[in-house]
């Protein structure tokens, strides 16, 4: 089942005796788990009927023994297994769970939160989960889908975000949905719903410098604005904690990978490029300019440089991994 369908069922108090929440994106797993933890039972009922166990600290015998209990003065009991990927999923242990899954108690809601990886669908136990319960697979979003996800999340919360602001936020925060939601929820507290959220709001509330951020660096490089690019890099070098190397190099890598895709586009129109590289047509002009300023072989060279300097920033093949000088050297090589 999809995340949206599960949440809709939970809100209608339509529960399954078994949930296997698995996948590489922890946000949806945590959100479903948190909803069950907070809303299935009333506060008085939770004392006797809600149990939270952790994969590293428990085993299947303990889980099944808890699952076989009947609720006390409540319709359900809830058992949440967090970090379930750390359980011993060997054949002997899993057989204990398998026997329970064949006839689970309808008064027990047993939730497995199996994070950061997909559960092996070839295993016999997976078929048992699928037969008697609900399975949700939580997949990572691609980089080019994050800005759209931000605008949708804001819309559902009653806010409207400018596309450029959502893209700036996505560029700066990456693909960690939990981190993005945390920043959005904090921002919503300071902005009225009747006003559109813009770049200035993102910069003011998330601590991104208005003029010196990875979004502006990519743009300066696209236009070969040497002065602006060097000003931004000088700022990054002076503020390394606000502009960590993984964020800067990751943003540059994503950007120039899209420029490389441009060179292989059969349709180099604004609409064609936007569709191919996964950006809104509003931003396509910038990639058209970047494609003209960096030919295919120069772009290949830049992508190679980014890999090299990513390793150098981690101390590989260099006696000095001070990010400031490394970034200045990298930007010089990109521009020249």
Please give the tally of structural domains in the chain: 2
- Cβ-contact 134, 119 below 8 angstroms: no
**Containing domain of residue 278, as a range?**
145-335
Find tokens 């922890």 and name the residue.
26
Q: Do strands 134-138 and 108-115 pair parallel, antiparallel, or not at all (unpaired)?
A: unpaired
Same domain, 134 and 149: no
pLDDT band at 79 (very low <50, low <70, confident <90, very high): very high
Averaged pLDDT for residues 165-177? 83
- The DSSP H or E segment spanning 18 is strand 18-23
pLDDT value at residue 158? 94
Tens of pLDDT along 114-153?
Answer: 999 999 999 999 999 999 999 999 999 887 788 889 999 9
Tens of pLDDT along 20-51?
Answer: 999 999 999 999 999 999 999 999 999 999 99
Task: Kindly report the average pLDDT of the chain as a whole number.
Answer: 91
Same domain, 171 and 122: no
Q: 3-class SS at 122?
A: coil
Asked whether residue 202 carries a pLDDT value surpassing 80, the answer given is yes
Identify the weakest region by mean pLDDT among 17-21, 285-289, 290-294, 314-318: 314-318
Same domain, 122 and 162: no
Asked whether residue 270 carries a pLDDT value surpassing 90, the answer given is no
Same domain, 207 and 331: yes
Averaged pLDDT for residues 93-119? 95
Same domain, 87 and 60: yes
Asked whether residue 282 carries a pLDDT value surpassing 80, the answer given is no
Q: What's the pTM value of the predicted model, to 2 decimals?
A: 0.72
Q: From 138, 160, 195, give the residue that closes a domain.
A: 138
Cα–Cα distance for residue pair 67/127, rounded to 1 Å: 19
Asked whether residue 318 carries a pLDDT value surpassing 70, the answer given is no
Asked whether residue 320 carries a pLDDT value surpassing 80, the answer given is no
Q: From 115, 138, 161, give the residue that closes a domain.
A: 138
Q: 3-class SS at 17?
A: coil
Same domain, 37 and 168: no
Closest CA to 169 of 138, 200, 211: 200
Same domain, 156 and 131: no
Cα–Cα distance for residue pair 285/269, rounded to 1 Å: 9
Q: How far is CA 171 from CA 144, 146, 190, 213, 255, in A?
A: 10, 9, 22, 9, 10
Averaged pLDDT for residues 197-211? 80
Same domain, 173 and 116: no
Same domain, 123 and 157: no
Same domain, 68 and 210: no
Q: Which residues pair with 231 in a beta bridge?
A: none
Tens of pLDDT along 211-257?
Answer: 788 888 999 999 999 999 999 999 888 888 877 888 889 889 989 99
Same domain, 42 and 177: no
Asked whether residue 210 carries a pLDDT value surpassing 90, the answer given is no
Same domain, 157 and 73: no
Averaged pLDDT for residues 266-275? 85
């Amino acid at each position: 089942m999809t995340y949206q369908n599960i949440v809709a069922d939970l809100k209608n108090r339509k529960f399954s005796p078994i949930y296997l929440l698995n996948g590489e994106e922890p946000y949806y797993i945590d959100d479903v788990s948190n909803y069950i933890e907070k809303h299935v039972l009333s506060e008085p009922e939770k004392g006797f009927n809600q149990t939270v166990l952790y994969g590293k600290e428990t085993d299947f015998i303990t889980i099944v023994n808890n699952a076989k209990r009947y609720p006390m003065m409540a319709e359900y009991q809830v058992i949440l297994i967090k970090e379930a990927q750390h359980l011993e999923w060997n054949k002997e242990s899993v057989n204990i769970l398998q026997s329970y899954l064949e006839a689970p108690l309808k008064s027990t809601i047993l939730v497995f939160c199996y994070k950061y990886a997909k559960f092996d669908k070839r295993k016999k136990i997976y078929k048992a989960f699928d037969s008697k319960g609900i399975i949700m697979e939580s997949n990572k979003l691609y980089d080019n889908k994050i800005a759209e996800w931000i605008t949708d999340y804001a819309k559902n919360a009653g806010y409207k975000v400018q596309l450029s602001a959502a893209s700036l936020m996505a560029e700066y925060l990456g693909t960690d949905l939990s981190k993005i939601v945390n920043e959005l929820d904090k921002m919503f507290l300071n902005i009225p719903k009747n006003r559109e959220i813009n770049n200035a709001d993102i910069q003011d509330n998330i601590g991104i410098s208005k003029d010196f951020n990875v979004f502006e660096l990519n743009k300066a490089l696209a236009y070969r604005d040497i002065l602006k690019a060097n000003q931004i890099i000088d700022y990054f070098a002076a503020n390394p904690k606000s502009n960590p190397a993984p964020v800067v190099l990751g943003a540059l890598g994503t950007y120039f990978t899209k420029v490389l895709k441009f060179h292989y586009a059969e349709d180099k129109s604004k609409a064609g490029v936007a569709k191919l590289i996964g950006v809104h047509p509003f931003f396509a002009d910038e990639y058209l300019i970047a494609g003209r300023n960096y030919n295919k072989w120069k772009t290949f060279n830049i992508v190679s440089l980014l890999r090299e300097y990513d390793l150098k920033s981690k101390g590989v093949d260099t006696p000095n991994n001070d990010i400031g000088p490394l970034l200045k050297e990298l930007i010089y090589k990109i521009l020249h």
